[in-house]
Structure 1
Amino acid sequence: MRTLRVVLPAVVILAWLTLAAVGGPFFGRISEVATNDQAGYLPRSAEATQVNELRDEFLGEATGRPAIVVVERDGGLTDADLAWTEDLAGRLADLDGVDEVSPPIPSEDGDAAELVASTSGEVDETVAAMRQAADVDRPDGLGVWVTGPAGFIGDLVEAFAGIDGFLLLVAFSAVFLILLVVYRSPLLPVVVLATALIALTGSIIAVWLLAKIGAIDINSQVQGILFILVIGAATDYSLLYIARYREALRDHESKWDATWLALRRSIAPIVASGGTVMAGLLCMLLSELNSNRALGPVAAVGIVFALAATLTLLPAVMLAIGRAAFWPQRPKFGDPQPDLTSPDAKGFWPAVARLVSRHARAVWVISTAALLVAGLGVLVLDADGVPQSDVVLGESEARDGQEVIGDHFPAGAGNPALIVGAEADLTALADAALEVDGVSAVVAVSQNSPTGTMPAGTDAPPFPIPTLAPLEPTVVDGQVMLQATLEGAPDSDVAEQAVTDLRDAVRAVDPDALVGGYTATMLDSDAASIHDRTVIIPLVLAVILVILMLLLRSILAPVLLVTSVIVSFAAALGVASVVFAVAGSPGADPAVPLYGFVFLVALGIDYNIFLMTRVREESARLGTRPGILRGLTVTGGVITSAGIVLAATFAALAVIPVLFLVQIAFIVAFGVLLDTLVVRSLVIPALSYDIGPAIWWPSKLWRDERAGRGDESRRLGAQDRA
């Protein structure tokens, strides 16, 4: 037996260290299997996706994301500027990843010109090379920008550049400082963070392999959330285990006995919490957006590794270190467990318990009312989507270039809407499209034209291309493709409205006609996100409610817990909405409320699970109301610490200059603090205390207390404590 006590933890630690050594290099490789192209987020059934899949057949191999190079000089382009722009077109065409480059297209006012290039392969690398080429021998005073869909992807990838290093550094630094304050021990924070880091390493290996074989899709957004989720979850679960281990070391001289006691007491709430998070996140598999759907399995993999590391590696390390891990405040065998529920008990949490016991109804009524008032802020929430140009915060060459295009060209030039319809209806489709407000020109795709297009429609404006006889539109399976130039910027509300009207107009001619392109992709993405909110949010609530009922063996308590988390989420989203509005935010992606809800409900319910499982344990020994007070006091410190740690880790997402992640960082960080400090500390204990034993209805615990059969168990509990 003594050999087992040495060999077993050694084998566990060695196995995890081996995994860490193998997985270390994967931190820098996960971007290899990530994509940030918005078209890849959509389901195959989306209209924009269907059109995107037909582009190769109509346009040949050069069907990558378009990049637009725009040059501008106040007072008009000179001959030298135009000559340099022509040379630039040649240099760009020679770059790897650039398939075709149009000749310079001058603006009517003579102040600007643009080149339209088709990119392929690693778009961000191609854009970076194009921007370097645009700096070679540039004439003084000539402005040059690389923009278009490819340009925005390049800016987005650059914004995510710090996700492997800087994000982790900020998150780990914040957690380390918090743990140092909580434990007042130099060793415990290192043990906890090492556990979280090794769990993250294992999850990255698994996610990389799954993405490599095509089982899941991943993007930089999901990657960042995975990092934060695993660090936060593993740290939270570690805090709960260490708190139980400290208690067990007072009751048992043997570290081995203390370890098994701590595991027995903590495994149920930790597994239940992790299972709840996984179940909630796996509901994202029903999402219509590939990006949302990817989050479910990726996050579930992360939680599995967080649970495994917390319940195997951490106990093994703590067993090996023993009481020295808590130095300089080592728990001693035989020290009495602190009685935090006595009237004379000192400290913050005993004071909170006394407040709850004396003014239970006033506490939960006033706290709930304050949360509901805060929730009114959702009335100013604008979550119908944001322009692509506002996704990246701070400097953005693509955004600046798009503004220049809008000053001198139709803002949608070089990034048209794509219409696919019957060959027999070509002229009628073009005429219908030209009648739509916001459409400035329509051309048909033609592979035997030097530009790849030809005029379309009886009222089409003149199109200055060399005449080839005959010019024929490209026909694929009886269908043709038209390109409609939009007057508004491709990511603007005006452009989205034009695409909506365009779809109605062309379907009046050909009911099977499809409209795709960049703007249509954004439009379909927003519609899919709104659908996901409607479907997934109720499902997450139902799944979590069932899990809580099974865990607590009660109906009333789980209903109240889930309701409290909903109120907490509404308050967090309301405050966030006001903050976003005051800060001048352009709005929010429709997925922001969904992500905020899933994380706050799934993670917020963790703290209620930690609290109520301990309350149930104490209620079986002391009775419900004394059990509530003891559960509150003994878990108050550890749960609050866990909440602060989780809030800090999610707040670290704000270092990535992407609007979506910054907004998620604020909503989740603020919401977790609200849930930890108000809901779990005041609302739930006070409401449960006010209701009394009926909180466990219809379980055996409720029936026993109602019949007065709880006296014997309470007497035995008092003897145990003595």
Structure 2
Amino acid sequence: MHGTGPSYGKWVAGKRSKWVTLLVWVLIALALNLLWPAVGDKEENHAANLKETVPSVMAEAIADQEFPSNGGIPALIVWHKENGLNEGDLAQLQELTASLESDPLPYQSFVVPFHKLPPQALTAQLSEDQSTLVMPVLFDEDQETDQLKEGTGELELRTEQLLGSNPFQAPIQSGDGISARITGPVGISIDATGLFADADVSLMIATVLLVLILLLLIYRSPILSLIPLVAVGFAYMVTSPILGFMADQGVITVDSQSIAIMTVLLFGAGTDYCLFLISRFRQLLWHEPDKRKALFQAITSSSGAIAMSGFTVVLSLFALLLAQYGAYQRFAVPFSLSILIMFIASLTLVPALLAIFGRGSFYPFIPRTPEMQAEHAQKKGKPVKAPHKEKESWIGRVVTTKPWTVVLVALVLLGGLATFSSHIKFTYDLLSSFPEDVPSREGFAIMGEQFSEGELAPVRLMVNSNGQTLDLGERLQSLEYVDRVSEPQNGAENNNIIGYDIELAMNPYSMEAMQHIPDLREVAEASLREAGVSNPGEAVWISGQTATQYDTEIAGEHDAKLIIPVVIGLITLLLLVYLRSVVATVYLIATVILSYFSALGLGWIIIHYGLGAEAIQGAIPLYSFVFLVALGEDYNIFMISSIWQKRKQMPLKQAIKEGVGETSSVITSAGLILAGTFAVLATLPIQVLVQFGIITAIGVMLDTFIVRPFLVPAITTLLGKWAFWPSKSHMATEEKQPLQVENNA
């Protein structure tokens, strides 16, 4: 629980070493950025999320092998005209497919040859009101989004040359004009990447401005406001090329979503670590005339808590490496490495900058000792101000005089909010996280209205019949949740493998559709079993987006059951080592977990009842848990550290009162900044980030304004000396201290 001593401060913030520290950071940042690529240059937004042994992935491999004619990534071009597509329109579309077949688009593998269909057959492809036609164009598999975008861009260009206008930019509801939208896997992929690409720049600008404005409002010092931003900037400049190098070497995979959240995390958590040190430095400057001594004392008293907080977050985020689901796993290294470098910067670069600027860091409200204030006022010819006094914390007084009331009110409030977390509905539908005016979502909406929604992403069911006659097609068609079943196809390499394309009578991306995957498997196995096929469970494969999402849900549930206990265990171990108190560790962990469920509950109230969302993305609870439990524990650690240190010189209640008062302003400002940076995510057009930002920001605010200032110190007051159990040193102090106070009296 002790700091690292004045010698450490001299190493990083001494008379000469402060310049060495700054120079080292500058040289490292320059060297790494010159030698290695930035992380943003090595994004890979189509990395596999599911392992090769997952059923839907194995089924996809079987489908590619046995039904290669359908191989490729489909782009579904939805052509729509309110008053109906006429013969002239269809002739132009036939001309377009002829052009695409004779002169394929970049990376195009196949196009449905509408130009070879007789007019009557083509008309049969239209929707019932003759207003809509879906044209599938397939692109080579394993292509990056940039290549897919190049191909669809060429498609738009050719279409505009053929029709004389660009239907991809035309409004959908115009009566006379023809409109086109690209949906399906290609359209969704392009739109998702575009949304995240736009988010990167706007997110960075918004986060920097927000942190700067909050720091200026809270501390009213331009220099002080820039010091954390400079530290975060250097941390990012060091983190980015290291991650870029690791991605370039194939050690890790990074995507735009992880980079976006990493940026927020750096600014939010990084600024917090800086403020922990800065606030302690300012407190000491009111009493210590030597700025160097004040800085060394600040480093000594706060470095332990900062390091502990940093390690807590780093290890919690690193636990994501245990995940089966790729998106979770890809977050682990970028997040944990960025926090590791950030708290190193807060313990080296920030002290060096504070040593360079000294008291001027707080200009124009410079903290001075009473003697220095008198001397300064004399020079300026102004009256001497009253000496600075720390204001008594009313919160500290309340939690020590009415602890039972505080605990009961806090538990009722947090517990009440937590009950709403059991009402949350989840979705794994990527399309639902897009704004409604995104082309792929618009195209999907038209298809759902004019055709079957299931046509957007059919389920491919394959069985090995072993040469037996099956009634599987009839069984599938009789299911109430199935809209259409294709004619059976025989495998290219194994003639006994039979494939069916199944269009569901619902949104294939919905949770309802996902839950029918086990039903389809059961129906197929029953058909095989009755036909006399042995081991039917090993002779059924189901692929397609619905099956992939079902396996995603299974993987997510597995990861949550594994990672959540691991994170709790790691934080528990760190707290035990740091505090040497079993009791304190238990209630610190318990209060943060309670605030997590409260954040989920309040987040659901806002997202569902306030914003009208039917469900939240399935990945959010695990993401939010890892962030909130780790970051929420930061504030507890910082406050408890202050109480534990003061406990050595004064009675426990006084230590709690002063500890709460001493840390309240810095934790409040740090919490506002951290919550604000996560709230910036809510301004983005991507629902998964909006929902994650809202829930995480709420959790930080609950920790900042309820758990840390009220609940934790009130519980500590109620427990008294047992809060330190089994640490004997604190219990001994408890017994000796009242005698000392009595004698003084």
TM-score scaled by structure 2? 0.85
Q: Within 5 Å, give how 1:312-711 maps onto structure 2.
A: 312-332=348-368, 350-383=393-426, 385-413=427-455, 415-422=457-464, 424=466, 428=470, 430=473, 432-443=475-486, 455-456=487-488, 473-475=491-493, 479=497, 481-508=499-526, 509=528, 510-512=536-538, 513-582=540-609, 583-705=611-733, 707-708=735-736
Per-residue CA deviation, residues 565-604 of structure 1 (Å, 9 max, x unaligned), is 1221122111111112212102012221111121111100
Per-residue CA deviation, residues 402-445 of structure 1 (Å, 9 max, x unaligned), is 122223333222632223432635863555544544444555xx
Give the match for residue 137 of structure 2.
117
Tell whether the 8 Å contact from 2:181 to 2:440 is kept in structure 1 after alignment.
yes
For residues 58 and 483 of structure 1, what CA distance do their matches in structure 2 show?
Answer: 14
Q: Within 5 Å, give how 1:201-280 maps onto structure 2.
A: 201-250=237-286, 252-280=288-316
**Which amino acid is 1:297 matched to?**
V
Give the match for residue 172 of structure 1.
208
Once the two structures are TM-superposed, the CA of residue 236 in structure 1 deviates from its matched residue by 0.4
- Seen in structure 2, the aligned counterparts of structure 1 residues 418 and 212 have a Cα distance that, compared at 3 Å, is farther
**Which amino acid is 1:704 matched to?**
A
Tell whether the 8 Å contact from 2:32 to 2:242 is kept in structure 1 after alignment.
no
For residues 221 and 69 of structure 2, what CA distance do their matches in structure 1 show?
Answer: 61
CA RMSD for the aligned pairs?
A: 3.1
Tell whether the 8 Å contact from 2:77 to 2:136 is kept in structure 1 after alignment.
yes
What's the secondary structure of 2:78's corresponding residue?
A: strand
Once the two structures are TM-superposed, the CA of residue 252 in structure 1 deviates from its matched residue by 4.8
The reply on whether 1:74 has 2:69 as its aligned counterpart is no
**Which amino acid is 2:294 matched to?**
A
Give the match for residue 107 of structure 1.
126
The reply on whether 1:151 has 2:187 as its aligned counterpart is yes
Tell whether the 8 Å contact from 1:27 to 1:201 is kept in structure 2 after alignment.
no
Per-residue CA deviation, residues 479-537 of structure 1 (Å, 9 max, x unaligned), is 56543333433213453344332222223323212111111111211222223223322
- Seen in structure 2, the aligned counterparts of structure 1 residues 628 and 493 have a Cα distance that, compared at 3 Å, is closer
Per-residue CA deviation, residues 226-282 of structure 1 (Å, 9 max, x unaligned), is 111111111000000112222344555544443332222221101110111122222
Deviates more, 1:232-241 or 1:253-262: 253-262
Deviates more, 1:148-157 or 1:54-63: 54-63
What's the secondary structure of 2:48's corresponding residue?
A: helix
Tell whether the 8 Å contact from 1:530 to 1:591 is kept in structure 2 after alignment.
no
Tell whether the 8 Å contact from 1:405 to 1:411 is kept in structure 2 after alignment.
yes
For residues 335 and 742 of structure 2, what CA distance do their matches in structure 1 show?
Answer: 45
What's the secondary structure of 1:117's corresponding residue?
A: strand
- What is the aligned counterpart of 2:224 among 188, 192, 195? 188
For residues 28 and 162 of structure 1, what CA distance do their matches in structure 2 show?
Answer: 21
Give the match for residue 462 of structure 1.
none
For residues 187 and 107 of structure 1, what CA distance do their matches in structure 2 show?
Answer: 66
For residues 12 and 74 of structure 2, what CA distance do their matches in structure 1 show?
Answer: 66
What's the secondary structure of 1:679's corresponding residue?
A: helix
Give the match for residue 118 of structure 2.
none
For residues 426 and 496 of structure 1, what CA distance do their matches in structure 2 show?
Answer: 29
What's the secondary structure of 2:565's corresponding residue?
A: helix
Once the two structures are TM-superposed, the CA of residue 316 in structure 1 deviates from its matched residue by 1.3
For residues 61 and 10 of structure 1, what CA distance do their matches in structure 2 show?
Answer: 66
**Which amino acid is 1:417 matched to?**
V
- Seen in structure 2, the aligned counterparts of structure 1 residues 3 and 629 have a Cα distance that, compared at 3 Å, is closer
Give the match for residue 57 of structure 1.
65
- Seen in structure 2, the aligned counterparts of structure 1 residues 299 and 64 have a Cα distance that, compared at 3 Å, is farther
Once the two structures are TM-superposed, the CA of residue 652 in structure 1 deviates from its matched residue by 0.9
- Seen in structure 2, the aligned counterparts of structure 1 residues 15 and 420 have a Cα distance that, compared at 3 Å, is farther
- What is the aligned counterpart of 1:97 among 85, 107, 112? 107
Once the two structures are TM-superposed, the CA of residue 55 in structure 1 deviates from its matched residue by 4.5
What's the secondary structure of 2:597's corresponding residue?
A: helix
- Seen in structure 2, the aligned counterparts of structure 1 residues 4 and 170 have a Cα distance that, compared at 3 Å, is closer
Q: Unmatched 5+ residue regions in structure 2?
A: 1-9, 115-121, 168-175, 374-386, 529-535
- Seen in structure 2, the aligned counterparts of structure 1 residues 35 and 495 have a Cα distance that, compared at 3 Å, is farther
For residues 356 and 27 of structure 1, what CA distance do their matches in structure 2 show?
Answer: 52
**Which amino acid is 1:511 matched to?**
G
What's the secondary structure of 2:222's corresponding residue?
A: coil
For residues 523 and 75 of structure 2, what CA distance do their matches in structure 1 show?
Answer: 28
For residues 504 and 19 of structure 1, what CA distance do their matches in structure 2 show?
Answer: 59
Tell whether the 8 Å contact from 1:376 to 1:574 is kept in structure 2 after alignment.
yes
- Seen in structure 2, the aligned counterparts of structure 1 residues 54 and 27 have a Cα distance that, compared at 3 Å, is farther
Give the match for residue 446 of structure 1.
none
Once the two structures are TM-superposed, the CA of residue 26 in structure 1 deviates from its matched residue by 11
**Which amino acid is 2:454 matched to?**
G
Tell whether the 8 Å contact from 1:654 to 1:662 is kept in structure 2 after alignment.
yes
Once the two structures are TM-superposed, the CA of residue 637 in structure 1 deviates from its matched residue by 0.6
- Seen in structure 2, the aligned counterparts of structure 1 residues 320 and 477 have a Cα distance that, compared at 3 Å, is farther
Tell whether the 8 Å contact from 1:569 to 1:671 is kept in structure 2 after alignment.
yes
**Which amino acid is 2:224 matched to?**
L
Tell whether the 8 Å contact from 1:240 to 1:638 is kept in structure 2 after alignment.
yes
- Seen in structure 2, the aligned counterparts of structure 1 residues 262 and 346 have a Cα distance that, compared at 3 Å, is closer
Calculate percent identity across the aligned residue pairs: 28
- Seen in structure 2, the aligned counterparts of structure 1 residues 59 and 249 have a Cα distance that, compared at 3 Å, is farther
Tell whether the 8 Å contact from 2:595 to 2:702 is kept in structure 1 after alignment.
yes
- Aligned residues between the structures: 683
For residues 202 and 590 of structure 1, what CA distance do their matches in structure 2 show?
Answer: 33
Deviates more, 1:614-623 or 1:532-541: 532-541
Once the two structures are TM-superposed, the CA of residue 334 in structure 1 deviates from its matched residue by 6.8
Per-residue CA deviation, residues 616-644 of structure 1 (Å, 9 max, x unaligned), is 00101113221111111111111111100
Give the match for residue 91 of structure 2.
83
**Which amino acid is 1:40 matched to?**
A
Tell whether the 8 Å contact from 1:92 to 1:133 is kept in structure 2 after alignment.
no
Deviates more, 1:328-337 or 1:621-630: 328-337
Tell whether the 8 Å contact from 2:447 to 2:456 is kept in structure 1 after alignment.
no
Tell whether the 8 Å contact from 2:77 to 2:135 is kept in structure 1 after alignment.
yes
